Amino acid sequence: MRFMAIVKATKDSEREGALPDPQLMADMNKFTDELVKAGVLLAYEGLHPSSKGARVHFSGKNRTVTDGPFAETKELVAGFSILQVKSLEEAIEWVKRSPNCEAGESEVEIRQVFEPEDFASAFSGEDIQQEKQLRAQLADQAAKK
Partner 1 sequence: MAATDLHRTIEAVWRIESARVIAGLTRLTRDVGLAEDLGQEALLAALEQWPRTGVPENPGAWLTAIAKRRAIDLFRRNAVAGRKHEDLARDLAALEQTVPDLNSTLDDPIGDDLLRLVFISCHPILSTESRAALTLRLLGGLTTAEIARAFLTPEPTIAQRIVRAKRTLAEKHVPFEVPRGPELAARLSSVLEVIYLIFNEGYSATAGDDLIRPTLCEDARRLGRILAELTPQEPEVHGLVALMEIQASRAHARVGPTGEPILLLDQDRTLWDHVLVRRGLAALQRAEELGGGLGPYALQAAIAACHAHARTAAETDWHRIAALYDALAQLMPSPVVELNRAVAVSMAFGPEAGLELLEALAGEPLLKTYHLLPAVRGDLLTKLDRLEEARAEFERAATLTQNARERSLLLDRARACAPGSAPS
- Residues lying near partner 1 in the complex (CB under 8 A) are found at 30, 36-40, 42-43, 84-87, 89-90, 92-94, 116, 129, 132-133, 135-136, 139-140, 143
What is the closest distance, in whole angstroms, from the C-beta atom of residue 5 to partner 1 in the complex? 14
Give SS3 for 139.
Answer: helix
Dihedral angle of Cα 26, 29, 24, 69, to the nearest 10 degrees: 140
Q: Which is nearer to partner 1, 18 or 113 (CB)?
A: 113
Q: Which is nearer to partner 1, 54 or 139 (CB)?
A: 139
Q: Which is nearer to partner 1, 66 or 129 (CB)?
A: 129
Cα–Cα dist 3/86, whole Å: 10
Cα–Cα dist 75/26, whole Å: 26
